[in-house]
Amino acid sequence: MLICEDWKWQKMPVITSDEADIIKMFNDGLDVKEMSKQIELAEKTIYKKIKKLKNEGVLKDDKVDRQTANSDEEDIC
């Protein structure tokens, strides 16, 4: 699937409607428990779908992209 966001084309894997909802809620900062209530999927299923989407490069792992408040310091967590 090709998508255009801010005039940049990206090739993305085909996703289900549940996965699209998970992506939106993940990017909005909702935790898995909140997602489970909203889309009525088991938390275990949501964790599996998030892992799949991260492996496919659709979602970015927040631990990898985290920056410190002071750019001169290292992130040691």
Domain assignment present for residue 44? The answer is yes
**Residue-number span of the structural domain to which 51 is assigned:** 15-60
> Residue 63: pLDDT band by 50, 70, 90 thresholds?
low
Residue 25 lies in a domain: yes
- Radius of gyration of the CA atoms of the chain, in A: 15
In this structure, of 6-10, 31-35, 71-75, the range with the lowest mean pLDDT score is 71-75
The gap from C-alpha 55 to its chain's centroid, in whole angstroms, comes to 10
Q: Is 54 exposed, middle or buried (0-12, 13-18, 19+ CB in 10 A)?
A: middle
pTM: 0.65
Q: Which two tokens stand for residue 26?
A: 């993940």
Task: Looking at 2-76, list the stretches that DSSP marks H as alpha helix, in order from N- to C-terminal side.
Answer: 17-27, 32-39, 43-55, 62-65
| Whether the predicted pLDDT of 64 surpasses 50 | no
Domain containing residue 26: CATH number = 1.10.10
